Amino acid sequence: MEIFIATSNKNKVKEFKDMLEPKGYSIKSLNDLDEEIEIEENGQTFEENAIIKASTIAKRFNIVAISDDSGLEIDALNKEPGIYSARYLGHDTSYDYKNSQILLKLKNETNRDCRYVCSIAICYPSGENHVFTGILEGSIAYEMTGSNGFGYDPIFYYEPFKTTLANVPLDLKNQVSHRHIALMKLLEYLDAKE
Ligand code: ITT
């Protein structure tokens, strides 16, 4: 079965491919289209933004589309960057900079609790849609470590691994991640539907 993911984030696409191709799914994304499609993410929650992205593509191309809206919530920063994770401190700003700024803001902070949230929506051309959310609890590390993964992974300390998500192989991250949890819920829904 082919799954179209309404994302242009290459790191997300890679994680989806790594998790879904072994199960026999083939993955296409916005990066496989000839035209560039801009979707305005003007929802107030991960769930709303996930539906906006997948439903736009489902209606436009008359296909079943899935999407991923995700981000990092840091308790000491009032849950920032949250739904603004990709845009935080500027869309084109490097993650080295974003991560170092977060470490600076949390310099004297003892509450380092944070979580990754991922909402995956599946939308049909008919307008039917469903959303599945996965959450991974962690804490903000005291320094950046590792070069695997993407985004905030170098500062996302995951206690069971005793290190950051950027410091473990991607297949290990993919066994526990917020994206994995949400995806398993989607697959359960798809299995039950068949
Ligand atoms: P699309 O909208 O095209 O899917 P995007 O990158 O703009 O791509 P989001 O609006 O959902 O997607 O923002 C997600 C951001 O949250 C992402 O760019 C990272 O900054 C952060 N993020 C989400 N999941 C992550 C993960 O597994 N590891 C590290 N950072 C992550």
- pLDDT of 101 reads 98
Atom of ligand 1 nearest to the CA of 165: 28
**What positions carry a catalytic annotation?**
69
**pTM tops 0.85, yes or no:** yes
Residue nearest to atom 19 of ligand 1 (CA): 151
Q: Are 190 and 124 in contact (CB under 8 A)?
A: no
pLDDT digit string, tens, across residues 45-96: 999 999 999 999 999 999 999 999 999 999 999 999 999 999 999 999 999 9
- pLDDT of 142 reads 98
Residue nearest to atom 1 of ligand 1 (CA): 7
- pLDDT of 15 reads 92
Query: Average pLDDT in the 11-35 region?
Result: 92
Atom of ligand 1 nearest to the CA of 95: 20
What lines the ligand 1 site, CB under 6 Å?
7-9, 12, 41, 68-72, 85-86, 116, 149-153, 177, 179
Instruction: Please give the mean pLDDT across all residues of the chain.
Output: 95
Cα 78 to Cα 19: distance, rounded to the nearest angstrom? 32
Cα 66 to Cα 2: distance, rounded to the nearest angstrom? 11
- Give the pLDDT band of residue 163 (cuts 50, 70, 90): very high
Cα 5 to Cα 18: distance, rounded to the nearest angstrom? 14
- pLDDT of 1 reads 82
In sequence order, the 6+-apart residues with CB closer than 8 A to the CB of 1 are 24, 25, 26
User: For residue 21, is pLDDT > 80?
Assistant: yes
User: For residue 194, is pLDDT > 80?
Assistant: no
Q: Are 2 and 28 in contact (CB under 8 A)?
A: yes
